[in-house]
Amino acid sequence: MATMDIQVPDIGDFDSVGVIELLVSVGDTVRPEQSLITVESDKASMEIPSSHGGVVKEIKVKIGDQVSQGSVVVVLETASELAQASPRPPISMDLKTELPPAQAKFHGVAPNSVAASTGTPTTSIEVRVPDIGDFKDVAVIELLVKPGEGVRLEQSLVTVESDKASMEIPSSGAGVLKELKVKVGDRVNIGDLLAVLEGSSASAPEAPTAPAGPAAPAPVDKTAPASAPALGSPAPTASAPVPAHDPSAPALKAPHASPSVRKFARELGVPLAEVAGSGPKGRITQDDVQAFTKAVMAGTAQTRAIASVAKPAVAGGGDALGLLPWPKVDFAKFGPVERKDLGRIKKISGANLHRNWVLIPHVTNHDDADITELEALRVATNKENEKSGVKVTMLAFLIKACVAALKKFPDFNSSLDGDQLVLKQYFHIGFAADTPNGLVVPVIKNADQKGVLQISQEMGDLAKKARDGKLGPADMTGACFTISSLGGIGGRYFTPIINAPEVAILGVCKSQMEPVWDGQGFVPRLMLPLSLSWDHRVIDGASAARFNAYLGQILSDFRRVLL
């Protein structure tokens, strides 16, 4: 085991640059060429790579330090078999502002860096649209670089979009962008001239129409899952998914982030332009991208693309969905009216319900459960417990029955997280409660560990707190599945809206005596109408029918809960 100082390599004319980001921690194993820190001058940011592989023993710099060529960045612990040298690690960099070529003096950078003015003669490089498969006349929807900016080999120049995919067209050369030959709205085909770069002759591409290979674009099939292969075009070499762009989104100022953060954001499909940077001078860090992703997943933030579809029709006019604007009517013309502000709960629950209704592909299965025996048990239980003051309603039995069904069909006890399904091993059941101020959903935690009497007691307490407006956030969070019971009110069936990020909800209406055929004759049975709404991205119709049938079996013979 040996230690080795990893130093800042030759970074050209930049004497003293500030450290703005540490990309590794003590104890991390790093590969040769892995970026260790990001540094920033007033003109560019760049990542300093490790010349060797090993385990980080010590970090010798901190954010805010100034470093120059030769400064020790980290001390690596290298076993002889672990130490792998990289003769000339590449420095990836991100030019911040419009730089005349003469100012971009990064000497000794690897070929994938911006072409620098190093005294070598400059040459004009024409960048053309490479082979983009069967796509003809694709529209340019976004310009990703501006004249005067430094462009790396393979850096995306423009985004184009067909009716099936959007893709970024990378540069087949490196240099400073002299002229963009296309504008938003233009239609392009293979071989069309996209841009002219001014670069050193060393960085000039061999052929103007780069076919497949490093400069092939990375298309994204808007109709397929992110992991699906790209649509019939040449195999893309860049595997990072490129988010589909919202052509109607206004152009934004280029976000300030290091190349690795940009790559990270691209991989997650995060629109960097919408992320607020917490780093020096508003720089977007990896933590910012992660926090943004978490907030979107938790529903506390929205990307502009989601917001455009989730906007309430009454406020947004429905134009985002291509619908007619919301009708504006002067109701007073037809008779007297009174105006009332929506209450706080109505506003919050309304926005949530609307988002869930628009974003979740709902399907509802209706069924009936024979609860004749269960109702007799409920009545007997209430009689026996008259003095306890705890009244057992059908809802408490339904909660227990749903837990049994969730255990048998775990997909119903899950949430979608990107391309993953989070399967919960706990059973917290929400129940919709009607209050004078609106609908709230208190949660019975760990319902699998509680008996029907305890659930009834807790439900009573929570329903009272709800009516008194005293529910706290802890009372209303963490549910895996929700039941909405209108049994005490009436009705037959309805379509409950899924309470995201849950994937299913059970609606229950009023039970009533019905004639049921038992094979020989009609017999009176107490039938409970069930309406199960489920998210078709996670659950399919067959499982939903099985879930309802199993629930019906349990409710008709509650001893099955014990099985």
In the complex with ligand CAO, which residue's Cβ is closer, 192 or 434?
434
Q: Identity (one letter) of the amino acid at 226?
A: A
Q: Shortest Cβ distance from residue 563 to ligand CAO (Å)?
A: 24
In the complex with ligand CAO, which residue's Cβ is closer, 393 or 553?
393
Residues in Cβ contact with 118 at an 8 Å cutoff, skipping those fewer than 6 apart:
105, 107, 200
**For residues 73 and 58, what is the distance between their CA atoms, to the nearest angstrom?**
9
Following DSSP, what letter does each residue of 300-343 receive, concatenated?
SS--HHHHHHHS-HHHHTTGGGTPPPPP---GGGTS-----PPP
Q: Shortest Cβ distance from residue 466 to ligand CAO (Å)?
A: 7
Q: Shortest Cβ distance from residue 43 to ligand CAO (Å)?
A: 58
Which one of 245, 256, 428, 536 is the catalytic residue? 536
Q: Shortest Cβ distance from residue 150 to ligand CAO (Å)?
A: 56
In the complex with ligand CAO, which residue's Cβ is closer, 351 or 439?
439
**For residues 257 and 273, what is the distance between their CA atoms, to the nearest angstrom?**
10
**In the complex, residue closest to ligand CAO by CB:** 487
In the complex with ligand CAO, which residue's Cβ is closer, 488 or 541?
488
Q: Shortest Cβ distance from residue 486 to ligand CAO (Å)?
A: 5
**For residues 544 and 538, what is the distance between their CA atoms, to the nearest angstrom?**
11
By C-alpha distance, which of 494, 496, 481 is closest to 533?
Answer: 496
In the complex with ligand CAO, which residue's Cβ is closer, 253 or 383?
383
Take residue 341 and report the two structure tokens written for it: 């502000």
Instruction: Please classify residue 220 by burial: count the beta carbons closer than 10 Å to its beta carbon, then call 0-12 exposed, 13-18 middle and 19+ buried.
Output: buried
In the complex with ligand CAO, which residue's Cβ is closer, 195 or 498?
498
Helix (H, G, I), strand (E, B) or coil at 400: helix
Active site annotation includes 256:
no
Residues in touch with ligand CAO (CB under 6 A): 393-395, 431-434, 439, 463, 484-488, 496, 508, 510-511, 528
In the complex with ligand CAO, which residue's Cβ is closer, 148 or 357?
357
Instruction: Please classify residue 230 by burial: count the beta carbons closer than 10 Å to its beta carbon, then call 0-12 exposed, 13-18 middle and 19+ buried.
Output: buried
Q: Shortest Cβ distance from residue 529 to ligand CAO (Å)?
A: 8
Residues in Cβ contact with 341 at an 8 Å cutoff, skipping those fewer than 6 apart:
none
Q: Shortest Cβ distance from residue 395 to ligand CAO (Å)?
A: 4
Q: Which residue has the tokens 């629950």?
A: 349
Residue count (the chain): 563
- Residue 180 pairs in a beta bridge with 195
The answer to whether 92 touches 112, Cβ cutoff 8 Å, is: yes
**For residues 295 and 309, what is the distance between their CA atoms, to the nearest angstrom?**
18
The answer to whether 492 touches 440, Cβ cutoff 8 Å, is: no
Instruction: Please classify residue 223 by burial: count the beta carbons closer than 10 Å to its beta carbon, then call 0-12 exposed, 13-18 middle and 19+ buried.
Output: exposed
Take residue 503 and report the two structure tokens written for it: 């994937």
Which residues belong to the active site?
A: 536
